Amino acid sequence: MPVNPDSSYQAPWFLRNGHVQTIYPILFRPRPVIDYERERLDTEDGDFLDLDWARVGSKHLTIVCHGLEGCSIGIHALCMVEALNAGGHDALVLNFRACADAGRIPNRTKRFYHSGETGDLRAVIAHAGQQYDTITLTGFSLGGNVILVYLGKHPETVHSSVKRAAVFSVPCDLASSSRRLASFANRLYMRRFLKSLATKLRAKEALLPGQFDLEGLDDIRTFQEFDDRYTAPIHGFDNAEHYWAECSSTPYLKQIRIPTLLVNALDDPFLTKECFPYAEAAALRHVHLETPGNGGHNGFILLNQENRSWTEKRALQFLQTDGTSGKC
C-alpha cells in the first residue's frame, strides 16, 4: 500500500510551476531567527562536525539533514527547525563537512560530504542517542538521500533510538537526476551548485596545499565532470557512475525497517521518473511514497501567517503520529 499519489498538498494557483516553487522560498520566504547552540563533535578520522541545537526541553529529538550546499542557516533548515520546536521537538541540524555557516568554516581533512556518506550521520545519532530515548530524522534532497541510505544499507546497525523518518525532494536515482540537472532548463541551478563547490575546493586547497588539482576547475559544467574528478576519487569510488550507483537510495528502500515517508513532487525540476519508485514502495511495508502534483524542489509553499510550508506540516504529522493519511 505505501504509495499515496493523492497528496493533500495544493499549491496556490499562481505558484503551480516547479521552478517557481523551487526559487520562491529562497528569495521571498521570511527567515526565522533561531538561537542555535553550536557543538563541535570530533570525528574518528581527526576531523569535526558542527552541530546546531535548538532545544525546547523535549525528551524527543529530530535531526535535520540539509541538501547540497545547504547548512543550518539555510531557509529550509531554519523553517523546519522553527516548526519542530513549535511542535514540541528538540531539533539538531547536522552541518555536513565544510557546510557550517554557509561553508565559511573549512574542515581539517580532504574529505567532504556526498549523497551516500552515512558515517557522519551515524556518529551524530550515536552521540545524540546518549541524551534522547527517541529520535526521528528529516531531510531534504541530498540530506534525504543520506537518511534513506543510512536506514536501508545496513538496517541492523540503525540506532535503536531512531523511530521514524520523513524526507523530501530526494534524488533517489543519482545518475538520472545528475543528468537532468545538466539540462539547459536547469543551467542556473547547476552554475550555482558548481560555483559553491569550487569555492570550497579552493578553501580546502589553501588549507591542504597540493591535495587538489584545481587546473580547469572553472571549466567544469556538470556533476558528471565534478564527480568524476573530485567526489569519486576523494571518497573511494572509481568514477561518477560508480559513486551514483553505490549511493542512490532506491536499491536500499526494501531494507528499511522503520516507518519512513518519502515525498517527491511530480513537477520537481531536479528529478526524473527514476526518482519516483512506485513499484518498490508498493511492495514495501515501511516506506510511504507520496507524490504531489506540485511542490517543485523543496518548495511546497503555503501562504499563511505562521510561515509554515506544507513540508513542515507533513513532516510533523508523520513524525508524531502514524502519519499515513496525508491530511494536514
pLDDT in tens, 145-169: 999 999 999 999 999 999 999 999 9
Indicate whether 265 belongs to any domain: yes
Average pLDDT, the chain: 94
pLDDT at 326 over 60: no
The catalytic residue positions are: 141, 268, 297
Q: How many domains does the chain have?
A: 1
Burial group, residue 222, by CB count within 10 angstroms (0-12, 13-18, 19+): middle
Binned at pLDDT 50, 70 and 90, residue 102 comes out as: confident
pLDDT at 108 over 50: yes
Three-class SS of residue 125?
helix
Contacts for 86 with CB less than 8 Å, ≥ 6 apart = none
Binned at pLDDT 50, 70 and 90, residue 104 comes out as: confident
Indicate whether 211 belongs to any domain: no
**Rounded distance, CA 243 to CA 65, Å?**
20
pLDDT in tens, 246-279: 999 999 999 999 999 999 999 999 999 999 999 9
Three-class SS of residue 62?
strand
Q: Which tops the pLDDT comparison, 88 or 281? A: 88
At residue 1, the pLDDT reads: 45
At residue 323, the pLDDT reads: 46
Three-class SS of residue 167?
strand
Which of 92-106, 117-131, 312-326 is predicted with the least confidence, judged by mean pLDDT?
312-326
Q: Give the pTM.
A: 0.96
pLDDT in tens, 191-214: 999 999 999 999 999 999 999 999
Indicate whether 189 belongs to any domain: no
At residue 324, the pLDDT reads: 43
Indicate whether 234 belongs to any domain: no
Look at the alpha carbons of 266, 272, 278, 281 in this order and tell me if their dihedral is positive or negative: negative
At residue 24, the pLDDT reads: 96
CATH number at residue 286: 3.40.50.1820
Write down the residue that cell numbers 543550518 correspond to: 72
Which domain range does residue 106 map to?
3-173+250-320
Indicate whether 148 belongs to any domain: yes
pLDDT at 328 over 70: no
Indicate whether 278 belongs to any domain: yes
Burial group, residue 157, by CB count within 10 angstroms (0-12, 13-18, 19+): exposed
| Run of H or E including 64 | strand 60-65
At residue 322, the pLDDT reads: 52
Nearest to 287 by CA among 121, 94, 80, 147: 147
At residue 31, the pLDDT reads: 95
Indicate whether 149 belongs to any domain: yes
Could you tell me if 249 and 172 are in contact, meaning their C-beta atoms sit under 8 angstroms apart? yes
Segments in 67-211 forming alpha helices (H): 75-86, 100-103, 119-128, 142-153, 174-181, 187-207
pLDDT at 2 over 50: yes
Indicate whether 128 belongs to any domain: yes
pLDDT in tens, 208-260: 999 999 999 999 999 999 999 999 999 999 999 999 999 999 999 999 999 99
Binned at pLDDT 50, 70 and 90, residue 103 comes out as: confident
